[in-house]
Structures are given as structure tokens and as C-alpha cells.
Amino acid sequence: MSIQAAALRDALLTLNRIRALQLLQAATATMAPLKVVEDLVRPALEQVGDLWDRGGCALSQVYMSGRICEELLDQLLGDPTRPSSSDLTPAADSPRLAIVVLEDYHLLGKQIVRTVMRSSGHSVRDYGRQTVDDLVEKVCFDEIDILLVSTLMLPAALRVEALMRRLGDEAPSTRVVVGGAPYRFDDRLWREVGAHAVGLNAGEVVGLVEQLQRGAR
Amino acid sequence: MSQTRPAMTSMQRVLTAVGHQEPDRVPLLLLPTLHGARELGVPIDTYFSDPALVAQGQLRMRQRYRHDCLYTFYYASIETEAWGGESIFRDDGPPNAGAPLISDLEAIQRLSPPRIEDAPGLRRVLETTRLLAAETGGEVPIIGVAIAPFSLPVMQLGFEAYLDLMHDRRDLFDRLMRLNEAFCVAWANAQVAAGAHAICYFDPLSSSSMVPPELFLETGHPIAQRVIQQIKAPVALHLASGEGLPIIDHLASTGAALLGVSCHEDLGQLKQASRGRIALFGHLNGIEMRHWSAEQAEQQVKAALAAAAPGGGFALADNHGEIPWQVPEEVLLAIAEANERWGRYPLDWCDEAARAEALRAGVPESDTAAETASAADTAGAADTDAAADTAGAANTDGDAGPLAVSAARSAARTDVP
């Protein structure tokens, strides 16, 4: 990790928005937007997520770090996933990504991952909260390559099994990454429900998505 | 080998353990809620619609599993129902809190706490408490539940909006906390008046998994201190699987008598850090429990007892405060049987296990007491936490560690090459 990325990580963990802004301003003065995201924002957010995974920081810091990055990137570069921000527009061969909360009504996990993905330059369709039937319909219609599924409660995590069965029939090429509290308490659960991968923190999901993308090629 | 102690009632057993003494055996604070519906053969929503059914379910479960408490917790969102929120029932788990009841933060200015007597759900809980108190005559602790003022807004506002409020609008945050504190104290004391002997104060937001220690000291900690001192019964502070070791000194100073701890933390370390100040309960993993065999249940129980039970100050429980619907009855029975078998004081087998471990490791015998917990805990956790433990060890290599660990973990978390 570069000194600048480590400094950004530290600014984010202490919610020091001014310092984070200074670091990003300095970077954007000398680097292309995509390079700023790749070299600073993404490693900083990945480390924050990993720190949380290991008990080194709190979920509120993960959430606020993502929020600050997203706001500052919007301020400095424009919305990184909007077409006007051409330097950061995903390439034509980028996977079609979607994120969803399955059945539960509380959306924090999804919001955190969505924010980190956007701040890392990925365009993600946000499906909000869905049931299995509605979700399969959307995935098929949008021809989603990689679906990120967030769950809060164990019954919803177990419903992924039904989702995987349906997707196996109707969208067999779609890869599914699951995440959320139940998977943090049972290492075997993601395989039990038939998911392709599990992301136990937001920072990890970016790498997993790219790994799945490579595997699909 | 020392002699076993005279048999105690559940109340005596729990009080002795909470007083940091060794009772006749380790108290089992199994906290099944939904299983009562299965016990009575009724759907979950029907079960929680009738206070007599819940009382009957609790009594039947205690008869079956021989645990040391009755638990009047219905489900978390019953409290937000009182504020105008909705609970959405399902047939395979606890009801979910519906959409947040406060969508406009400015509405907090006009909010006032509901009266307990006006809330049908809370009245049902109080009726269950009265029925259980009449039935058991003080021999079994009846544990009620109150969601902490600091944690209730996750359901009142939604998690994201609550974190925004906490960080951006401290004026409204402070007002909401005052309202929630008044409600929490009234609700807890209504349960005490109905016959509850203790209140489980659920405060997952205060855990260091959720907010950093410095923010906890500004917020969740003073709130807990103010509320707990007004509750007219002993309080068990429960972090609902959240981690608490980094703030254990502050948790011990809230006034709570017991602390519910996470399976993600080292129980031996928690015990050493809290000894004599706050008793612990936990820390069995309810999610993994779904597929435990009887032998695995016994191993997990033994590991927990060895880590935290010597000297008292410990009760065996799950780590979340609610046993998932998917956990088979056979597993709960295996846990109860293992606690019955291995939880009888004095726990001589813990000393023997520590000595054997020390001999293997070449540690002088005088050092073995402190080693007991971690050795047993490691043994119990080894099969599930191996990947994480490996990752933790790798982190000692310096700044490159976390990314290397992340990469290693990612490899273990996808089936795609």
C-alpha cells in the first residue's frame, strides 16, 4: 500500500473529511481519475474492510469511509459511474453487476458494498430489496453477470439456496457472491446454499468480483 | 477428586454464578424463543399472539432442556410496534422489523415515547411474565428483555439513516436518545413489576464491531449507565454476537451484572479481563449449531466451560440471545446433557486438561491455570476458525499482512479458480 493510500485510509478511519479531500485533490492534480481510484481509493477502502473483518475497526467506520469517498469522488470527478465522467466509465467488456438485499428490510450491508464498488469505479445496478421470484426475473431481464446478494437474517441467507436453484435453470452463467452476518458466523454456509463466492467485508468484494470475471472469461 | 456440591435451585445457581462464586453446576441460560411454537405445534405468528402459549412454550422447553431460566423475549420488533412500526412474520424465523417508522429525521422533534399500556404487543409480554411468575414461585429466574436506547434506532430509522444521524445530527440524536431512554426504563420496569427477575439489555450497537470505542464512550456507554441504574432488577448487557473485549472495562462499569459475549472472541481472554467485575454468558455459535453432532456440541460446551467456568462468574448460553429456528432439538438436548455432565463443580477435569496440555507444551505446572482457557478454547474452535486463525497469524508480518491475508481469504471464499 502506498503512503498516500495509507494516509487516505487513516483519514477515513478518523472521519477526517478535510484531510481525505486534500489527499484526493493532490492526487487528481497529477493522476488520471481511474488511477486515483485504483491506487488510492480502492486500496484504502479494501484495507478498511479488511480491518473490520479482523476486529480492527467498527462497521460505522466502514460505512462512513465509503460514504466520504463516494461524496468526495462525486465532488472532484463527478459521479464515477455517470457517462459524463468518461475517464471512469466502465469499459464495454465490464461485467454487468447488480446488488440486492434478499428478503430482509435493512439495507446497510448492501449500501456499504454498493458504495465501495462505485468508489472503486464499478457500475452496479441497485435492486434494493427483492424476493427470490422477482429477483430472478430482474437478473434474467438485465442479463446480469455477477449478482451480489446481501442478507441479514439466517432464514434469508438460507433462501439463497432457492435462488441458486432458480438461477441455475434460468440464468446459469450468472455468478453469485453472498455476504452478510449469517455467513460470518458459519464458514460453510455459502457453500451449503450453493453460492459461487462469499464476501465477508466490503473491501473484499471488489477483488472477488474481478476474480469471478476472470474465471468467466 | 473433590466432591460435588449440594443441588441448588435454578435461582440459587444463577445468583451464585453471577456473584462470582461456584454453584453446584454451571448455569445453562439457554434462550430458546421460537422453539416454543414448535413444541406446541403452532405457527410462529399464532404462538406470539397468545401470552398463554408463550408461557406454556417456555415451561415445556425448560422441562425438556433443563435450563436455568425462563425467557419472556418474543422478538425484537415488538418494541418498535409500540412506536408505530410493523413486524413481518415468516414461518421459519423471527419476524423482521418492517420499513423504518421514521423516514424524515426532523420528525424526531415531534416524537414522543409510547405508553407501555397502550402497546398490545408489550401487554402480551407482560401477561406471559405474570403467568410464568405465578407458575414458578421465584425458583427460576425470569429474564425479560429491553432493547437499548442506543440500539433501538436501527429499527426505528434503519441502520444507514441512524449512522448518518449519529454522525451528522447530534442534536436530533440526543433528543432520540432521551426519548428512547424514557421508554426503555419504563418498559424494563414494567416487566420487573410483572415478575421478571432480571432484564437482558440488548445493545449490539455498543459493541466494538459496530462503533469505535471513542464513539461508544460518548454515546452508548453513558446511556447504558443512566438506564441500567434506573432499572429495578439486575441487568444482563448483551452485545448480540458483537465483540466487546476492547471495551470490556467500560462494559463492566455500566452497572450490568452479566455480559453476553461473542463466539468470535477468545472466551478465556474475556474471562481474564472481566474476572470478579462482570459475569459472562455465552458464547456458543447459534448459526453453526444447526449442524452440530452430539459430539461437536459436547466439544463446544467443554471448550466454553474450560475457558470461563472455573471460579464461577459464567453461565453457558448461545452468543446471540436467540436460538435460530433451524437448530434441531437434538442439538439443544446435547448441549444440556454436556453441561450436565461436564459443568458440575468443582471442575476438576479442567485442571487435568490444563496439566495435560501444559505437559505437551512444556509449560511449568504453576502457569497452567492461566493457560486452561486459551488451550481449551483453541481446541474447541479449531475446526471452524482455522482459516481465520491462519490469517491472524499472518498479520504479524507487518503492513503487507492485511492485503496478503485478504488475498488468501478471497481464495478460500470462492469456488471459481
Chain A residues whose beta carbon lies within 8 Å of the beta carbon of residue B210? 58-60
The pLDDT score that the predictor gives to residue B85 is: 95
Whole-number pLDDT of residue A86: 41
Does B367 have pLDDT greater than 70? no
Grid cell, residue B141, equals: 429466574
Choose which CATH entry (2.60.40.3950, 1.10.10.10, 1.10.1240.10, 3.30.950.10) describes domain A3-87.
1.10.1240.10
**Chain B touched by A15 (CB under 8 Å):** yes
Q: Give me the residues paired with residue B77 across strands.
A: none
Judge whether residue B120 has pLDDT over 70: yes
Mean pLDDT value of segment B204-220:
97
Task: Search chain A and give the residue with CA nearest B324.
Answer: A154
Average pLDDT over residues B337-347: 97
Look at residue B266 and tell me whether its pLDDT is greater than 50.
Answer: yes
pLDDT surpassing 60 at residue B370: no
What's the start-to-end Cα distance of chain B, in Å?
55
pLDDT surpasses 90 at B147: yes
The domain ranges of chain A are: 3-87, 90-216
DSSP A95: P
Homologous superfamily assigned to A90-216: Cobalamin-binding domain (3.40.50.280)
Of A64, A154, A215, the CB nearest to B324: A154
Question: Do A63 and B326 make contact, defined as CB atoms within 8 angstroms?
Answer: no
The DSSP element (H or E) to which B12 belongs, if any, is helix B10-18
| Cβ–Cβ < 8 Å for A202, A62 | yes
Supply the pLDDT for residue A210. 85
- pLDDT at position B351 is 82
Confidence of residue B166 (pLDDT cuts 50, 70, 90): very high
With cut-offs at 50, 70 and 90, classify the pLDDT of residue B416.
low
Contacts of A203 in chain B (CB under 8 A): 406
pLDDT of residue B270: 97
Instruction: Identify all chain A residues contacting B211, using CB atoms and an 8 Å cutoff.
Output: 58-60
Does the beta-carbon distance from B158 to A106 stay under 8 Å?
Answer: yes
Task: Give me the pLDDT at residue B364, please.
Answer: 54
pLDDT-derived band of residue B415, with 50, 70 and 90 as boundaries?
low
Chain A contacts of B44, Cβ < 8 Å?
Answer: none
Reported as a single tens digit per residue, the pLDDT across B235-259 is 999 999 999 999 999 999 999 999 9
Q: Are A28 and A44 in contact (CB under 8 A)?
A: no
Domains of chain B from N-terminus onward: 10-346 (3.20.20.210)
pLDDT at B366: 47
For A57, nearest residue in chain B (alpha carbons): B212
Interface test with B, best of A59, A120, A184 (most B CBs within 10 A): A59
Other residues' Cβ atoms within 10 Å of the Cβ of residue A137: 13
For chain A, residues with pLDDT lower than 70 are 79-93, 216-217
Check pLDDT > 70 for residue B384: no
**pLDDT above 90 as % of chain B:** 82
3-state secondary structure string, B182-214?
HHHHHHHHHHHHHCCCEEEEECHHHCCCCCCHH
Residues of A in contact with B407 (CB under 8 A): 207
Mean of the pLDDT values across residues B68-96? 96
pLDDT at position A180 is 92
Res A161: pLDDT: 98
Q: State how beta strands B87-88 and B96-97 pair.
A: antiparallel
| Among A15, A154, A196, beta carbon nearest to B326 | A154
